[in-house]
Every structure is written in C-alpha cells, then in structure tokens.
Amino acid sequence: MSEEMSHSSSVITSNEASDGFVSEDGRPTNGLSNWHTFPLEDVYTHLSTSPTGISSHDLPARLAEYGPNTLTPTPPIRWYHILIRQLRDTMNWIFFGLGAAGFALGDPVTGGLLCGLSVLNVYLSYSQEAAAERTLAALKALSSPTCTVLRDGMMAVVVGSEEVVPGDVLVLKAGDKVAADVRLMETSGLVVDEALLTGEAVSVKKRVGVVKKEEALGDRVNMAYASTTVVKGRGKGVVVATGMKTEVGKIAKTLNESSKQEESTQIQKSLWKMYFGLLATSIVFGLTVLAVNKFRVPYDVGLYALTAALSVLPAGLTTVLTVTLVLGGKEMTRQRAVVRRLKCLETLGAVNIIFSDKTGTLTQARMTVVRVWVPEIGVYTISSGRIGAIKSGRTAEEEVNPHTALEPSLERFIQCCALCNTTTVSETLSPSDKSTLSDKKALPDPTVLNSAPLATGSPTETALASLAHTFNSSKQILESIGWTFVYEHHFDSTLKRMSVVVRDPAGCLHVFTKGAAESVLPLCTEDGSMESSVLDEVEGCAARGLRVMVMGWKLWKGNDVEAREEVESGLQVVGCCGIYDPPRPETKYAIQQAHQAGISVHMLTGDHLSTAVTIAKEIALLPPSYSPIPGNSNTTHMTTTGPVFDALTDDQIDALPSLPLIVARCTPETKVRMIRASKRRGYISAMTGDGINDSPSLQIAHVGIAMGLSGSDVAKQSSDMILTDDNFDTIIKAIAEGRRIYRNIQRFLLYYWIGLGACALVVMVNLWIKDPEGSPVSPISTLEMVYLYIIMSPPAASLSTQPAARTLMSEPPRPATESLFNKDIVMDFVFYTFIMTGLLLGSFYTALFVKGGVQGVKCDENFEEGCRALYRARATLLCVFSLVLMVQAIHVRSKGLQWMNKRGLKATWGDRVWVISFVVVVTSLVVVTTVESIARVMGMAPITWEWGIVWASVLVFVLAGEVYKSVKREPMDGNVIEMGV
C-alpha cells in the first residue's frame, strides 16, 4: 500500500464544530455546506449512522425523509401526461366537434368517422410521443447507475445511485463516479477529479480530518462530491447530502430557476398562426353556406356547411409533425447525438455559429509528450507506439545509447513528471526487472517492460506520467526505491500550478513544481539568459501546437510544508515539455463542411494562444498563412485571449469586424459574453460544454450541446442535445439533420396546404350549383372528404422522412426569422393550388353537365335518381383529386427538378411508401366507383367513361408541374435546391 489508511488524526488543521448542524427540530440536515468542519464522530451522531453504515430497515424511512438521490426534482412523465398533451390539441377537438355536428344532423356514419378520425389522431400522436420519451430515457445510460454502500454491519451492497441516502457509507474505488456528497472516513491513495465541479484541471488528493470552515470547495480535501470521479486509490465516506442538496444539486437548482424560457420556435409560431387562421376560415366558410341559404338549416344545407368547414382543416397534420420530429430524434441518436428537447431539431437547422471547446471535441484528448527541453542538454523528441497510448515507450528519436546513464538534469525533470502528479500508471514487472532499475542509472530499455501500462487521470497528467514511465521512472518505481510523499499543494486554476514536497531515499526533502510558464518562471531564480531560453522554447512549442508545461525544483530545508508561498519560492528550472493533443481525423473536413454551409466556427480554449492558433491551422479553422501581428497578437478580431476579450466593453465588442475565431485562456464567463455578443449580431448559436461551470453558456445558447463521455450531469441537464462521442463532426451531422428535418416539414406542410386550398376553393366556388328547389348541392360529400384525409397521410408521412439532398450543406443557413411561408413556398402553393382547383372544377362540371346537371332534390338526404349526374360527378372529382394528390407528393418531393425522366422515375419507384399508397388508392377508387352499394354510402354513383376525364386531368397536372419547374429554374441560374431526388 502506497499510503497508510488515514483517519481523523490527520495533520489537517482542526477546527471546533460550529452551530447550525441540525434543524430546529433536532433532525440532521441534508445538504449543509460545512460538513467538512466537524469531527467524524459528530457527523455519525447527527446523521444517526456509524462507520458500518445504516440498516436496510432504516432505508424506507430515510428515502421518505430525504427523497431519491436524483438531480431532477420533477416527477417522471407518466402515460397519462402524454395522453393529456394530445387531448389539448385544438385540431383534435375541432374534428370531434364536427363529428358531433354530424350526429346532430342525423348522419351517424359521417359523425362516427369524424370522431374516429379524432381518436385515431390522438392514438397516433400518443404512441409517437411515448416512443420519444422512451428514446430520451436513453440519457440515463450516460450516468453511472450504481454504487457500492455498506449496510447491515459492513456488508458491501451494490445499489442504484438514486437509492443512496444520508447516513449511508459509500465505498469508493478508482473509476467510480461519486454518487453523493460524502465526508471521507478512510482513504488510501484516494485522488478525485473535480474538474467538472470546480473547473480545476488537476485531480485532488483526498485525506481524512477536519478542514477550516472558510476553505473553498476545491480545498475541502476531506470531502468527495457528487458527479466527481475517483482517479486512483480507494476510500470510504459517510453520505452527508443527496440529490438537489448536494453541491452539484445546488448548482442545478440555480440553473433550473434561471433556465432558458421555453420560447416557441418559428415552426410552432407559424403553425399556431395557421391553426387559428384555418379555424377562423372554417367558421367563415360554414357561416357563408348558411348565409347563402338565409340560415335555413335543412339536412342538405347543414351537411354542406359541415363539408365547407372540413375543407380547410388539416386532419393528421399534428401527427405527421410529431412523427417527423421523433424519427429525426431517433436518427440523430443513431448518429451519436441524443436530443433532449425535440424542438431543438428545428433550431439546429438555422445554426450559423458554433462555439466549440478544443480538447476532446476538436482534438482527441489523447495527450502525449512529444518534445522535452532540459537546460544544458537541449531537446529530446519523444515518440511512442501510438499517439496518446500509455504503452512501453521508445527512446528519443535522437541517437541515444540505451546503456548510457541519464544526465542529472534529465533525471530531475523526469522525477518531477512522475512525482508532481496525481495520475497512476500501472505496469507489470518481473522481480528481476525491478532489481535492474534500483540504481536508476539506465536509460529506458523497451525490453524491460513486458506489458502495456494503463493510466488513469486527467489527459495532461497522464501524458506526463506516461513520459516518466517511458524512462522507467514511474511514481510506483520511485516509491519502490524509497521516495515518499510528504505534502501537496494541489493545482489552482488561478495560480495555474501544482507543487509537491517529497522525501528521497537519503532522507532529503525536494520540492517539485509544474505549471504554466507565466506561473512557474516568476518563482525561479535563473538569470535573464536562462529565462529567455525557457521563453523561447515555450513559444516554439506553442507555435507547434503543443501545450507547454514548465517544471521547477529545489531542495527544501524549511519547516512549514503548508506555507505555499515559502515552499514555491527560489525554484530552479529543470525543463519544460510540449504535449501534443492531435486533432480528430474528421475535424478538418467537418469544419470545411461547416464553412461551406455558411456556419462560422469559433474555438474557445484554455490553452496558450500560440497552441490554439497552430491547432486551428491544422483543422482549417484559420488560413495556413495566418500570423498574429507581432506585439499585437491578442487584439486582432481573429484571435485573442480571454483576459483581453473580457476587458472589452459590449460596445467595443460590437464594434469588432467579427467575433474572434480563437479565444485562448478562456473562462466560463468569457463563453457567456461571446454567446451574448453573437446574439446581438443576430446569430443562432450552438455551444459545446462539459463542466458544471459551462452550464450557464449552455443555457443561454440557442442550442446547448453537452459532452456525453466527459460531461457533468448538470451540463447534460442544461443542454438541448448530448454528444455520446464528444466529437465535433457529430455536431455538423446534427446540423445537417436539423436542416433535413426542416426541409421535410416544409415539404409535407406544402403538400397539405395545396390539397386543403384546392378543396376549399372547389367547395366554395360550387355554391352556385343548386337543385331545382334552390338549395346548394355540395360537389363533394363529407365521407369523400374523410376519405381524402385518410389517403393524404401516407404520402405526407413519406415526405417527412425524405433523405437529405446532396446540396443541403452547400447552402447558407436559413434566416432565423424566416417563416415557413417563405416566398418560394407561397409561389408553389399559389401555382399548384390553382392548377389543381381548375382541373377539379373542370372534371366535375364536365361529368355533371354532360348528363344534364342536377335534376333531383335533397340529394344528400336520400339517394335520388334525378341526382345521379351529381353522384357521378362527385365520383369523378374524387378520383381526380385522389390521383393528383399522389402526383402532387412527387412534385413537392422533387421540388426544383423534373421527375419525368429516368432519374426521377427511379427515385419515385424507390419511395416504397408512395408506391404502396398509389396502389392502394387506385384499388380503392376502382372499388368505390364500381360497387353500387359502396358508392351510395359515400354519396356517389359508379362511373364508366368518366375515367377518361380522370386520367386526362392527371396527365395535364403532371405536365403542368414539369413545365412550371422548368420555368422556375431559369431565374435560379441552375442553383437548384435538390430535395430528395
């Protein structure tokens, strides 16, 4: 064991317990912020627990008192919640009301069908939203679902993390995600990564004891907090806070209280306007029919008014829209992007600016030391079996004799990499191999290590530990020959450095410090020439895209190891290293795609500016020829640093020609300012983040994107979408999917509008057709209207799932304020609606008047032979309407391209939903226009020669659409938007 079990007698400063430990009724409180200040015995007493945990019999009562250990306080969505949402849909109630009107008019068949249509809409929408909820439930897999606790007298039990309660004793080991806030009672080399909570990049070594009340969250080394990760070692702790009472829960609560308002998207606004407009039009149409008949409401007139009202209502539209969004969400899940809010799919299509982290998103987060500079020796170039792998390494590329002893300066540098480090590198060594390393005088020999090492910890520390391992000087090996740990001053994001005090085998104390150059160099005593050499190497490494760490060392002869300022003064530079985090192979192409699609990509990183610029050039974020202006590199509108950007006022930021493409040394506050600045410029932004401190920027962005692999639970909760692979390329794919979904929504909405518009015009224009008694006769029966609604849904659903056009990501993003009813859509709507209406009226009038017109009365109340011409004309109109609607689906799908050619016909044949729908429609039309009894039920009569009118009308509609698209393409100069063909 590398470190003895620590107990409450630790050297950490004691402090007397303060008031406020319990609530007014004497019960222990869940979620105090000062648990770190109390002796363990007091913690046990006030939580009614012991070092062996609680009894299983106490669990139900504690769960009832404290609630489940979850961050989200909202109850789960039940089946009836989804059902209630469907019952609130205005369109469903309209159809239900019209069905009731049909019953009131004495037509139970029509009334039953309309009510059934309403119920069918509710069922389909319910089933699809239920499927969406099941898809979103996959988010739970992104969090650690279980943990180990002690119960019933030291019995280790694996339980769901939501079942942990205050008083439980949590068992921690390397790789565990801490399930709740715990006060540590035992540690053995326990190191915890708290970056997602505190923002600190370096893991914290934990101990037992009492900590001063005023210590900051990151300095409470006797606590382990929910959502943090155990990097190495093991330990036990008593749970002091769960759920929303944890430190991460408090942040989540704050974020929930200030969360982004659920604003309606542009599609939602457009649909609401359309719904109310169509409802008003429906009422006007119905009243118009009644007014023409002087508000006399016999059966025929009432049925005509009902048909007129139905003619403008889009049955099935809500269902198709829901299906489109759900299927789009499932497709994005397949592409490793889990959508938490379905409506963000629409917003994604309008994104025109992306703010992205560098490490792990644009790069692989597999860091490796590739360059080492040591005073008096020069430069070593390091290579390994593969980039980022923790594997038995090879010597520097320079010619080095493996049996030559290490230079003292290089040896000191490697010791700093190994000992000033919280990462563990495991290895398998035979006893004879260990004995050969005892004198520490041999350079690395790849044959010594007989298996690949495994490292756990932050990427930067892993790279340094791997380098030490390459030189056969890992922390484990140094400890095995007598090096011992004394004290650690852990990494501080303000100071940007970390230091340790260690004792060598001879008993001498050493201080090792590592950190950013600007943090470590002021602590060193080198002359100006040495400092200049170090700075030159730092700039050289940064220019190569490397993250730079500077190492300092000194012999320590002081007494107070806790006095950080004293410990870290008077250091000597022992070298620096360049750490390479290679870009993901697909990142460059993804950024080129983004630029081609009119999307601006910005890198927000904590790295050195030169490092960020070099990486940006590699991935085509900056042009290869870009070079910061000497002496002014931090003030250009293309690249800057966080401190420089934060010093600008909003007016100064708005005056910049453009927002900086690169912001180095970036803080969470900088990210928030960047997003707000982009909003003032009218951008639609997507923001990536992983840490808890990224949550504010994720919330204010139009689309917040959390990292699924490295992201915190709070970041995920604040996001609209989660990347399960933390890959920038997935963002571009998600944007492409958002554009495809939006285009498909436009497709099926246009299809519905054309059909409804033609139907409404036919019904209202025919008000002048009357029977001998002067009552108007409807050109289409109510049941025919229901039939048309039914056959419209499958082609509309097919339009909603069309694949993306090849040119989709070659077009600029649509304006954020663009309505669904844009100029192009309105032009198509007007043309196709009037062509369709003309063909419907022409076929109806031809079939009607060739046979003498309407000669009977009360044609809808009873089957009258004198109305047979009307019945045959209705059958003709229904056939024409049904078939041109099928053709219209193809016109809408291909939009700007002809389909009466080999390529277009092939695409049509490949659309199986359309092909099946076409076969079903033709078959059903033959049946209803041939079988007398069925025709009568639908208010029609069988037809014969009228089929010639039907197919002639269909052919005219096909040719008219092809000519229209040819004419429309001319002013576009060939820049055709290809949609699904």
Q: Distance between CA 256 and CA 73 in Å, rounded?
A: 10
The DSSP string of 270-290 is HHHHHHHHHHHHHHHHHHHHH
CA gap 219, 207 in Å, rounded: 11
CB 686 within 8 A of CB 664: no
Residue of 89, 168, 357, 828 marked active site: 357
Give Dmax (Cα) for the chain: 120
Question: For residue 649, how many C-alpha atoms fall within 13 Å in the half-sphere facing its CB?
Answer: 3
Residue the block writes with tokens 């019953």: 103
How many residues belong to the chain?
A: 981
CA distance 888 to 750: 10
Structure tokens at 86: 């469907």
Angle at 524 between CA 523 and CA 529, to 5 degrees: 135
The secondary structure of 215-257 as a DSSP string is --GGG-TTEE-TT-EEEEEEEEEEEEE-GGGSHHHHHHHHHHH
- Which residue pairs from 713-716 have beta carbons closer than 8 angstroms and sit at least 24 positions apart in sequence? 713/71, 713/143, 713/227, 713/248, 713/252, 714/71, 714/227, 714/248, 714/251, 714/252, 714/255, 715/196, 715/689, 715/690, 715/691, 716/139, 716/142, 716/143, 716/340
Helix (H, G, I), strand (E, B) or coil at 634: coil
- Cite the beta strand spans of 93-203 per DSSP E: 146-151, 155-160, 169-173, 181-193
Residues 468, 543, 364: CA angle, nearest 5 degrees: 60
Question: Is the Cα torsion angle 315, 321, 326, 328 positive or negative in sign?
Answer: positive
Residues whose CB falls within 8 Å of the CB of residue 506, separated by 6 or more in sequence, listed in order: none
Residue 179 · residue 69 · CB < 8 Å: yes
Q: E strands of 67-193, at which residues?
A: 146-151, 155-160, 169-173, 181-193
Cα 892 to Cα 86, 325, 745: the distances in Å are 29, 19, 11
* 566 token code pair: 């004293």
Report which residue type is found at 456. T
Q: Establish whether 357 is a catalytic residue.
A: yes
Nearest to 440 by CA among 417, 420, 415, 423: 415
Angle between helical axes of 782-800 and 868-894 (0-180°, round to 10) = 10
Catalytic residue IDs? 357
